[in-house]
């Protein structure tokens, strides 16, 4: 569809143990997402800003950037770089707005943001489904407008929920007992479910399923496990049910997804 041809993707990637620094204007417009670890950034010699992931920032050729991970630490870093006439509309409509004095953006829903960044990186690197990639990018830019301050969890629960969703993301195949989690938080299961849905835009059970499907997508393109084995590895024992869920999320069957995105 030519409607989306006025945006081009230059590169996209992910590095888990990243220390690379930048001290120059970038060649392209970019969306940068730090999932974990520290980032320190200065733009056009403004005072340095420092924060820990999950946090995002935008880069563009009009500014000089200096960013790095302090001391001996490492960061987990996702990036998507793009260019084209469509960017002019982003700039004019302030969908892409860079403020050198306040670069680092705390996210209202980092887990939702992460899931969409992961999907976009896969699409860009595969070079297919360009229309969906453009729409995903635009949705991510919209999510940056939804600041965390307006939806912050009550202080006494924030660390507990953040820790829980991180553990689910790392091991979605586990049999997660949310009744026990609610008891550990000293709240009722209903209250636990309401809070989880309010701040992560999903029920706990659906969040687990989404994490399982993202892990399955990664296994499909990076391993030779059979679809039945992958279904079992991500905690879904019924292969037919797994395939149905996978196709609903990615609009592709697991077999077609592997054929399209996997390396030969």
Last residue of a domain, one of 133, 149, 165: 149
Same domain, 7 and 51: yes
Residue with tokens 């939702």: 112
Predicted confidence (pLDDT) at residue 261 exceeds the cutoff of 50: yes
pLDDT band at 150 (very low <50, low <70, confident <90, very high): very low
Cis peptide before 54 (omega within 30 of 0): yes
Distance from the Cα of residue 223 to its chain's centroid: 22
Q: How far is CA 261 from CA 43, 119, 162, 171, in A?
A: 36, 11, 31, 23
Residues 66 and 196 placed together within one structural domain of the fold: no
In this model, does residue 110 exceed pLDDT 90? no
* Secondary structure of residue 155 in the 3-state scheme: helix
Same domain, 69 and 199: no
Global confidence as pTM: 0.64
Rounded-to-integer distance, Cα 81 and Cα 14, Å: 12
Which residue stretches of the chain are H helix?
Answer: 86-92, 110-126, 130-143, 155-170, 178-184, 189-200, 204-222, 227-233, 239-250, 254-261
| Number of independent structural domains in the chain | 2
C-alpha span between 171 and 156 (Å, rounded) = 24
Among 126, 149, 172, give the residue marking a domain's end. 149
Residue 152 has pLDDT above 60, yes or no: no
Neighbouring residues of 114: CB distance < 8 A, sequence distance ≥ 6: 33, 35, 54, 78, 169
pLDDT in tens, 186-201: 999 999 998 888 777 7
- Considering the domain architecture, whether residues 165 and 89 belong to the same structural domain is answered as no
Domain holding 258: CATH number? 1.10.10.60
Q: Which residues pair with 147 in a beta bridge?
A: 107
Confidence of residue 162 (pLDDT cuts 50, 70, 90): confident
CB 231 within 8 A of CB 255: no
Helix-, strand-, coil-residue percentages of the chain, each rounded to 5: 50, 20, 30
> CA 8 → CA 30, 35, 83, 151, distances in Å?
12, 25, 5, 33
131 plus 163 within the same structural domain: no
Distance CA 129, CA 58 (A): 24
CATH code where residue 53 lies: 2.60.120.280
Cα gap 200→24, rounded to integer Å: 36
Indicate if the pLDDT at residue 140 is higher than 90: yes
In terms of domains, do 60 and 142 share one?
Answer: yes
Domain that includes residue 103, residue range? 2-149
Chain mean pLDDT for the chain: 87
Rounded average pLDDT over 139-144: 91
Would you call 140 helix, strand, or coil by DSSP? helix
């Amino acid at each position: 569809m030519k409607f989306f041809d006025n945006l081009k993707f230059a590169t996209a990637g992910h590095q888990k143990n990243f220390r690379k620094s930048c001290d120059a204007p970038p060649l392209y417009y970019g969306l940068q997402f730090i999932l974990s670890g520290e980032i320190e950034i200065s733009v056009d010699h403004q005072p340095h800003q420092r924060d820990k992931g999950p946090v995002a920032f935008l880069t563009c050729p009009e500014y000089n950037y200096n960013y790095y991970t302090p001391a001996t630490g490492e960061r987990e870093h996702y990036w998507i770089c793009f260019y084209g006439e469509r960017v002019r509309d982003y700039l004019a409509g302030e969908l892409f707005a860079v403020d050198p004095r306040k670069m680092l953006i705390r996210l209202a829903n980092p887990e939702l943001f992460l899931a969409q960044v992961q999907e976009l990186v896969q699409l860009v690197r595969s070079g297919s489904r360009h229309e969906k990639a453009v729409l995903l990018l635009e949705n991510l830019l919209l999510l940056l407008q939804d600041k965390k301050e307006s939806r912050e969890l009550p202080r006494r629960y924030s660390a507990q929920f953040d820790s829980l969703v991180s553990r689910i993301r790392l091991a979605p195949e586990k049999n997660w007992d949310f009744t026990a989690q609610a008891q550990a938080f000293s709240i009722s299961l209903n209250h636990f479910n309401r809070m989880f849905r309010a701040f992560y835009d999903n029920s706990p059970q659906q969040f687990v399923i989404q994490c399982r499907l993202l892990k399955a997508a990664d296994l499909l393109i990076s391993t030779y496990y059979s679809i039945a084995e992958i279904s079992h590895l991500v905690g879904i024992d019924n292969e037919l049910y797994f395939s149905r869920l996978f196709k609903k999320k990615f609009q592709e069957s697991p077999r077609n997804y592997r054929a399209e995105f996997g390396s030969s």
